[in-house]
Amino acid sequence: MGKIAVVLLFIDGVGLGEMADHNPWVTYPTPCIRQLLDGMPLVREAAGRHGSDLLLLETDACLGVEGLPQSATGQATIFTGKNAAREMGKHMSGLPFRRLREWVQKDNIYLQFEKKGWKATFANAYTKEYFERPATKRGWVSVTTATIQSSREPVRFFQELVEGKAVYHDITRTILKKTGMDVEEITPEQAALHLWSIAGDYDLVVHEFFLSDRAGHKQDPWLLQYVTHHYDRFLGELVRLKRPEDTIVLVSDHGNSEDLRVKTHTANPVPTLVIGDIDALSEVDTGAWDLTGIVPLLTRIVSRNKKTG
């Protein structure tokens, strides 16, 4: 049984692009996504409602700030619910500088949930080595790491991973195995099962996938194929295992992998894909939807779950 669960899937560098040959989300097979979107791939045209419990929203990642959207401020906006790009005066890429890091560590979704007595967790597994690196010790960490570190909720390590109580960022542990760790690869379906098994103890569980952004920058066909194929299966199985009362929310921080013509990020809208309690959006102006809406949305869904559950 367990709690009514909300899963936040954060996928880096995936915009809603065109139905075109330069879009790997169109050209590579994504049968599970197409099944969810009435035959459409993950493109701008697919935005809208599909069935009674699925809504794909075009999400503005530019946030009224000049220039291409970037990871640090995009993620900071997703995880705080406040416009980090405007706050910092520009879009900031890569790992956040101290000012942005401290800003996200002051107030973010984990801390907001903690204050309400709700339980939220980050499902990704870290290696011990990661925290022993001098750069990590100096605070040179991603927004997603900085946010979970600011909360009382512990991060997950290799031990949790082998117990099926964590998910590796690449879903299948392929990259972890390549680094020489003594670990077996798993299928995306197994990873989906692991994510749901964590979800049973929490109100919100977050997973971060960033190979999509890397694949877009590198324009690497092997990696793009890996990303679209495995993420499609992961999402498909998460939806298959979802109970009617659970909700999955998928969001990205900026476009990139949906346009192979450029190595850079794009100004495309990103997806907010809600599968489950789409009624939580009924009083929201989804015409002006942007990344600041994710924290309020997740808060609203969990709050509604508390009432019914």
Other beta carbons less than 10 A from residue 287's beta carbon: 7
Are 297 and 284 in contact by the 8 Å Cβ rule? The answer is: yes
Residue 213 CB, shortest distance to Zn ion, in Å, is 4
Which single residue is written with the structure tokens 């995936």? 14
Which residue stretch of 115-123, 127-135, 169-177, 211-219 sits at the interface with Zn ion (rule: CB under 5 A)?
A: 211-219
CB of 220 to Zn ion, least distance (A): 13
Question: Which helix (H) or strand (E) covers residue 205, if one does?
Answer: strand 204-209
Beta strand extents in 3-154 (DSSP E only): 6-11, 48-49, 54-59, 120-122
Q: How far is the CB of 94 from Zn ion (least distance, A)?
A: 8
Contact region with Zn ion (CB under 5 A), list: 84-92, 113-121, 157-165, 206-214: 206-214
Which residues are registered as beta bridge partners of 266? 255
Q: Considering beta carbons, is residue 14 or 125 the nearer one to Zn ion?
A: 14
Give how many residues touch Zn ion by CB under 5 A. Answer: 1
Minimum distance of Zn ion from residue 142's CB (angstroms): 11
How many Cα atoms within 13 Å fall on the side-chain side of residue 258?
A: 26
Residue selected from 58, 213, 246, 277 as contacting Zn ion according to rule CB under 5 A: 213
Quote the CA–CA distance of 129 and 125 in Å, as a whole number. 12
Contact criterion met (CB below 8 Å) for 256 and 217: yes
Q: Given the complex with Zn ion, which of 213 and 232 has the nearer CB atom?
A: 213
Site stretch for Zn ion (CB under 5 A), options 22-30, 139-147, 189-197, 212-220: 212-220
* Residue 147 beta carbon to Zn ion: minimum distance, rounded to whole angstroms: 18
Write phi, then psi, for 70 (nearest 5 degrees). Answer: -130, 165
Intra-chain end-to-end CA distance of the chain, in Å: 12
Beta bridge partners of 120: 204
Query: Which residue number, 160 or 213, has a Cβ lying nearer to Zn ion?
Result: 213
For the window 104-123, what string marks contact with Zn ion as x by the rule CB under 5 A? --------------------
Q: Which residue is nearest to Zn ion (CB)?
A: 213
Q: How far is the CB of 25 from Zn ion (least distance, A)?
A: 16
Q: Is 253 in the site for Zn ion (CB under 5 A)?
A: no
User: With respect to Zn ion, which residue has the nearer C-beta, 240 or 263?
Assistant: 263
8 A C-beta contact, residue 65 and residue 90? yes
List of residues contacting Zn ion (CB under 5 A) = 213
